[in-house]
Amino acid sequence: MHIVSNIEEIVNDSKGLWLSGLFGSIIGWNPGHAFSTHKNMFFNIIKVLLDEGAIRFCRPDDPLGKKEAYWKTDSDIIMNYLQENWPDNATDENDEELNMYFYEMPAILWRDEAGKYIGS
């Protein structure tokens, strides 16, 4: 796993936001990198946050968590889902396909200070 510069700042800035907020924070705190590097940072941070229990996701078949509060599965399965659905043709952060990806992915839930998971 790659070490991501400014990870603490990125997480603090994007806590409580959608995936697009996390991706935007990565770009903001690490300007001048290639889009592919930002993509790798994005997935690395998500994996770390999942493994630490700082975030969870709703299930793909219940993207807003109406049936079940969160996706109860291994972080590798979630990562695989997120990576498989990443738009291969996206070339920059303003790409329309990337915007649709962020819109279509299950909601990200952030753990608050009380240990409860809340969405944005």
CA 43/CA 40 separation, integer angstroms: 5
Residue 18 Cα to chain centre, angstroms? 7
Report the pLDDT averaged over residues 30-56: 96
Domain hosting 30: range is 7-119
CA 111/CA 18 separation, integer angstroms: 13
- The mean predicted confidence, pLDDT, of the chain is 94
pTM for this entry: 0.93
Integer-rounded Cα radius of gyration of the chain: 14
Q: Would 67 be classed as within a structural domain?
A: yes
Residue 1's pLDDT band (boundaries 50, 70, 90)?
A: very low
Report the pLDDT averaged over residues 3-28: 94
Q: Would 2 be classed as within a structural domain?
A: no
3-state secondary structure of 77: helix
Q: Which residues are 59's β-sheet partners?
A: 62
Q: Would 1 be classed as within a structural domain?
A: no
CA 52/CA 88 separation, integer angstroms: 28
Domain count, the chain: 1
Alpha carbon distances (Å) from 6 to 12, 32, 82: 10, 14, 22
Q: What is the pLDDT of residues 68-97, one digit of tens each?
A: 989 999 999 999 999 999 999 999 999 999
CATH number of the CATH domain containing 51 = 1.10.3510.10
Q: Is the CB of residue 68 less than 8 Å from the CB of residue 56?
A: no
